[in-house]
Amino acid sequence: MLVGLSSGVRLRFVTRPVRCLLACLALLALPAPTASAASFETCLAGLRAASLDAGVTAATFDTVMRGITFNPEIIELSQVQPEFKTPIWDYLAGLVDEERVNDGRAMMARYGQALAAAEQRFGVDKATITAVWGVESDFGRSFGTKPVVQSLATLSCEGRRQSYFRSELIAALKIIQRGDIDPGFTGSWAGAFGHTQFMPSTYLRIAVDLDGDGRRDLVNSAPDAVGSTAAYLKKSGWVTGGTWGFEVQLPAGYSGPSGRTRKEPMAAWAGRGITRIDGSALGAGPSAGLLLPAGLQGPAFLVTKNFDAIYSYNAAESYALAIALLSDRLRGRKGLVAAWPTNDPGLSRAERREVQTLLMRRGYDLDGKADGVIGSKSRAAISDFQAKAGLPQNGRASASLLAALRGR
C-alpha cells in the first residue's frame, strides 16, 4: 500500500505561484478539530477553501462532499497499535501460498496482453507486477470497504498527520473531477485504493491509462492498474532485466556484515564464503545487500536495487520479500529451501479457513466468517482453545493448533 509517500500533487488550473502559496497556507491554517459535528463542519469549510485554491472546483467539492460525515472508526483504526506481532513465517505463509500462486498464474494468462504491454513500456517483468497485484488486493478481491473520501476527510480533521491526509483528500477530489474514478470509490482506512492500492497523490503523479480508454482507472481497469504499478516500480529505480536477488547459504559461523542497504559487489560476498542456496558460486551480478529476516538461523538472501524498488511500495522488508518470493513462484521457480527457525510453521489461507471453521464448530463466535483473515476475534478464540488444549497460549494460527483442532 502506497502510504506515507510525499504527495507530489501537481496543482492543475493554477496559473500563478501565489495561488500555490495560498493553498499551502490554507492547509496549514486549518483547525485540528475534535469529533463533534460542529467542529467537523468547521474543518470542512477550511478544506473547501484549500481545495478551491488547489484547483478543485466549487461544484466538484460541494457535490462530492455533500453528506460526508465524520467517521470515528477511521480514527480508531489509525491509532491501533497491534499487540499481536506476526512472525515472518506466518506472514509469508499466508501471502505466498499455493492458492495465490495458482491465482497469479491464471491472472497472468488472462491479462497477458496488458502485462506484456506494461513490461515493454516500463521494463518491469510481468511476474513482479502480478505479485504486487496479488499481495495488495488478492487480484482485485480486496480493495477495502471504506469510502475513500470520507476516510480522508476524517483523517484531515482529526488525528496525526492531518496535513498529509488533507493533501491526499485534495488529490482524491482532483481524480474525481477528472472523471477517472467514480466518487463513491472505496479503499483502505488510510485512503489507498484500487487493484494495486495507490494513494491519491501517487495516482496523480504516476498512474497511466494502459487500456487507452482515456481514463486512468485503477478500480475498474486491471490493465491500468498493472501499468501504473510498473510505472511506479520503474520510477523507484527498477533495473530492467535485473533480478530482485536470490536465496543464499551462509558459511558456518558467519559473522560478517548484513542489511538490505549495505550493498557490496558479489565478489565481496563470495569472498566471505557465501554461495547460492544450492551451493553453486554467486557468479557475476549487481551489488547486493545481505538480508537476514529471521537472523542467522533463518533463510538468507542477497538483494539488489530491484528489491529496494519493491520495498519502496510499502516500506517493510517482509512485504518486499513476499512480493519477491511470489514473483519467483510465478516464474515457475521453487520456493524457499532453508527452513524458518520454528518448529511450528505458519498456515496457508486455506488452512487458516479450516482453523476458523473448526473453531466455529466448537461454538466460538467468529461472526460466521471463515475467510482466512486472523483478526482479533479469531486470535481470542485460538487463545482460549489453546488454553483448554494445553498448548502455548499465543493466539497463533499455526500447524500445532490446526493439528489439535483436527484431532478433537
pLDDT, tens digit, 9 for 90 and up, residues 325-339: 999 999 999 999 999
pLDDT at 80: 72
* Nearest to 402, CA basis, from 95, 85, 93: 93
Q: Which residues pair with 265 in a beta bridge?
A: none
Cα 254 from Cα 75, distance rounded (Å): 46
Mean local confidence (pLDDT), 286-294: 97
Residue 408: what pLDDT?
64
Q: Between vectors from CA 2 to CA 59 and to CA 248, what angle results, nearest 5°? A: 165
Q: Provide the β-strand partners of residue 247.
A: 301
**Confidence grade of residue 259 (pLDDT, cut at 50, 70, 90):** very high
pLDDT at 51: 97
Q: Say what the pLDDT of residue 79 is.
A: 85
Range 103-111 contact pairs with CB under 8 angstroms and sequence separation of 24 or more: 103/134, 103/138, 103/139, 104/130, 104/131, 104/133, 104/134, 104/139, 104/326, 104/329, 104/330, 105/330, 107/133, 107/134, 107/139, 107/222, 108/330, 111/222, 111/223, 111/226
Output the nine-digit C-alpha cell for 65: 462532499
Question: Across residues 234-241, what is the average pLDDT?
Answer: 98
User: Of these residues, 119, 136, 158, 168, which one is catalytic?
Assistant: 136
State phi, psi for 295 to the nearest 5 degrees. Answer: 85, -175
CA quadruple 374, 380, 381, 382: dihedral, nearest 10: 70
Cell of 13: 488550473
User: Which three cell numbers mark 283?
Assistant: 557468479
Please report, for residues 2, 99, 132, 146, 167, the alpha-carbon distance to residue 188 in angstroms, rounded to integers and kept in the order given.
11, 23, 16, 6, 17
Report the distance separating Cα 177 and Cα 48, nearest Å.
Answer: 14
pLDDT of residue 18: 37
| Cβ-based neighbour number of residue 386 at 10 Å | 19
pLDDT at 85: 79
pLDDT range class, residue 84, cuts 50, 70, 90: low
Residue 83's pLDDT is 54
At residue 44, does pLDDT exceed 50?
A: yes
If you average pLDDT over every residue of the chain, what do you get?
A: 91
Question: With bands split at pLDDT 50, 70 and 90, how would you rate the model's confidence at 81?
Answer: low
Percent of the chain with pLDDT strictly greater than 90: 86
Q: Are 56 and 174 in contact (CB under 8 A)?
A: yes
Span 304-314, average pLDDT: 97
Q: Under a CB-based contact definition with an 8 Å cutoff, are residues 247 and 338 in contact?
A: yes
pLDDT average, residue stretch 95-112: 98
What is the sign, positive or negative, of the torsion defined by CA atoms of 262, 296, 1, 210?
A: positive
- Comparing 20-24, 70-74, 195-199, the range with the smallest average pLDDT is 20-24
Domain limits of the chain?
A: 245-317, 349-406
**Does the annotation mark 354 as catalytic?**
no
Instruction: Report pLDDT for 38.
Output: 79
Alpha helices in 158-265 (DSSP H): 162-178, 200-206, 222-235
Looking at residue 105, what is its pLDDT? 98
Averaged pLDDT, 121-149: 97
Mean pLDDT calculated for residue range 373-378 = 92
Q: Which of 21-25, 56-60, 82-86 has the lowest mean pLDDT?
A: 21-25
Which amino acid is located at 344 in the chain?
Answer: D
CA dist., res. 406 & res. 41, Å (int): 54
Q: Is the pLDDT of residue 355 over 50?
A: yes
pLDDT bucket at 160, cuts 50 / 70 / 90 = confident
DSSP H/E element including 263: strand 259-264
Give the per-residue pLDDT at 23.
Answer: 44
Segment 92-105 mean pLDDT: 97
Region 65-93: what's the mean pLDDT? 87
CA distances to 39, 77, 114, 158, 375 from 73, rounded to whole Å, are 17, 6, 37, 12, 16
Query: What does the pLDDT average to over 131-160?
Result: 96
Q: Give the pLDDT of residue 309.
A: 98
